[in-house]
Structure 1
Amino acid sequence: MKSFRSQPQNRPKKSSLIIGKAKLLAALKEGKQLERIYLMQTLHGAEVEEIKKLATQQQVPINKVPVEKLNGFNITDHEGVVGLIAKIQYQDLQDTISFIVEKGETPLLLILDGITDIRNIGAIARTALCCGVQAIIIPDKGVGALTEDAIQTSAGALEKIAVCRVNSLMKAVDTLHLNGIQVLASEMTAADLVYDCDFKQPIAIIMGSEDKGIYPALMKIADGVFRIPMLGGFESLNVSVATGMILYEAQRQRNRSI
């Protein structure tokens, strides 16, 4: 399945960038939330190693890029490294689960695996917020950057729904299981239909990318797999559309008055 055609994204504003090794190290030591770090491929040294170490500890993705990428930010004093300030505040997964339960709500969470198109992520966030999803879980690598473009595409939903960035979706599933949350995966070859799932219980739903689907090891530890029935011998749905169909079924089950 193919995602939307790529479109040019706006260049980040200079005010959203942390430029140079010393400033980036200071930001990391202060615990400033970063969306990601762009590091020149050939850059080495003690400061670079410290940046990598702190970024790993804080689950900040590092993109190794050619110098042309950094120059493309229209800056010349980058010293081979640029940090992009996060536009949203990432939440701790366990703290988020505890907060949901303490409010007396039944968890309904969404896990995004390998979804890189920010328009898909934005559309998913809008529907998730409308359907009562309390949090979206994303990996620190292999997902589209939640930049201003993503927030605009989500109509601001990404600023209103909790987003938990984790360094391993496998470990995130372990955390969900420890909290009594079942994990279901959407897969178009599954035997069970979406209507057969019990979404009234504490649930997290995994949605995979359109080209690669869900990571096999992640699929293996899911508690159940389901599919959306499709007619006409056509088995291709945009991931944001598929997510919307699933979440509205979950909402229907949870609120029979709708």
Structure 2
Amino acid sequence: MKKSSLIIGRQPLIEAFESGKAIDKIFMYKNINGENIQHIRQLAKDNHVPVQMVPVEKLNSFTRANHQGIVAIAAVVQYTELQQVIDHIVSKGGHPLFMMLDGVTDVRNIGAIARTAVCCGAQGIIIPDKGVGALNEETMKSSAGALEMVHISRVSSLAHAVDTLHLNGISVMGAEMKADQKVYEMDFKQPCCIIMGSEEKGIQRFLSKAADAHFAIPIAGSFDSYNVSVAAGIILYEAMKQRIPHPLSLSTQ
């Protein structure tokens, strides 16, 4: 990990939050107490930044400096609140097209999805603050810089994100292997968000139940499944193909 990506100590972390710097994760000594700790916890909660309680040896492995029981990792991307993204897209006359990543942990897959999202006109990617691969330098490299060209919304609850999408008239569609409808039967011209689950577990049940529709990608023969980034590419290409005659639908940044 690059030392420049570390934020070491309590006051430097507070100042990073107050300056609007995006934080990817906070590592905190498991027996920490004292000045500013509750304030830091509240800042982390307000900004949907995960906090991991760790032994002091973990913190010492990051730095030899006086870390005061806290080391944070600065994010390589700037996160944007979901409602702000929706408002921005709509104000420019665009039809929202989002990807929601549920349990996708491989950073190379996340980077590849971001790259395809930009190429196919998707404007935003929604990720949870826990249970997803870190958006670090490796992810940025895998995305070929696309993570800086698409809106990233990190949320504390994917269920609440679905509620926000619904309140804004955005349909939520789940990509699932056993769905009856096929990807080419879906209407991606409408404002929509596509949920992609992990290759091992798929979409969590509560998200599947909250989705407005479900669809599958046909597979020739009896092979198990597509790689998640490949599946995302197939879906996003279908969405772009449907939206091509409607230039406003591809309006983005």
With structure 2 as the length reference, what TM-score do the two structures score? Answer: 0.92
The answer (yes or no) to whether the contact 1:119–1:153 under 8 Å persists in 2 is yes
Alignment match, 2:199: 210
Alignment match, 2:251: none
Moved over 6 A (4+): none
* Equivalent residue in structure 2 for 1:44, among 33, 44, 59: 33
Alignment deviations for residues 124-149 of structure 1 (CA, whole Å, 9 cap, x no partner): 00011000000111111111111111
Alignment deviations for residues 81-134 of structure 1 (CA, whole Å, 9 cap, x no partner): 111112111111111111111111111111111111111100100011000000
Structure 1 gap segments, 5+ residues each: 1-10
Alignment match, 1:111: 100
- Is residue 26 of structure 1 aligned with residue 15 of structure 2? yes
Q: d(CA) in 1 for partners of 2:55 and 2:226?
A: 35
Aligned counterparts, 1:45-124, within 5 A:
45-124=34-113
CA-CA distance at 1:46 after TM superposition: 4.8
Alignment match, 1:133: 122
Q: d(CA) in 2 for partners of 1:74 and 1:187?
A: 43
Q: Percent identity?
A: 55
Q: d(CA) in 2 for partners of 1:129 and 1:75?
A: 40
CA-CA distance at 1:50 after TM superposition: 2.3
Q: Determine helix, strand or coil for the equivalent of 2:36.
A: helix
Alignment match, 1:188: 177
The answer (yes or no) to whether the contact 1:192–1:225 under 8 Å persists in 2 is yes
With structure 1 as the length reference, what TM-score do the two structures score? Answer: 0.90
Alignment match, 1:4: none
Alignment deviations for residues 64-92 of structure 1 (CA, whole Å, 9 cap, x no partner): 23333322224342222111112111111
Q: Provide the aligned length of Structure 1 versus Structure 2.
A: 246
Structure 2 gap segments, 5+ residues each: 247-253
Residue type matched to 1:153 in 2?
Answer: S
Q: d(CA) in 2 for partners of 1:103 and 1:229?
A: 35
Residue type matched to 1:233 in 2?
Answer: S
Q: d(CA) in 2 for partners of 1:83 and 1:96?
A: 26
CA-CA distance at 1:164 after TM superposition: 0.9
The answer (yes or no) to whether the contact 1:36–1:61 under 8 Å persists in 2 is yes
Alignment match, 2:249: none
Alignment deviations for residues 2-38 of structure 1 (CA, whole Å, 9 cap, x no partner): xxxxxxxxx1x22221101232233334443211111
Q: Determine helix, strand or coil for the equivalent of 1:72.
A: helix
Report which stretch shifted further, 34-43 or 241-250: 34-43
Q: Determine helix, strand or coil for the equivalent of 2:133.
A: coil
The answer (yes or no) to whether the contact 1:188–1:235 under 8 Å persists in 2 is no
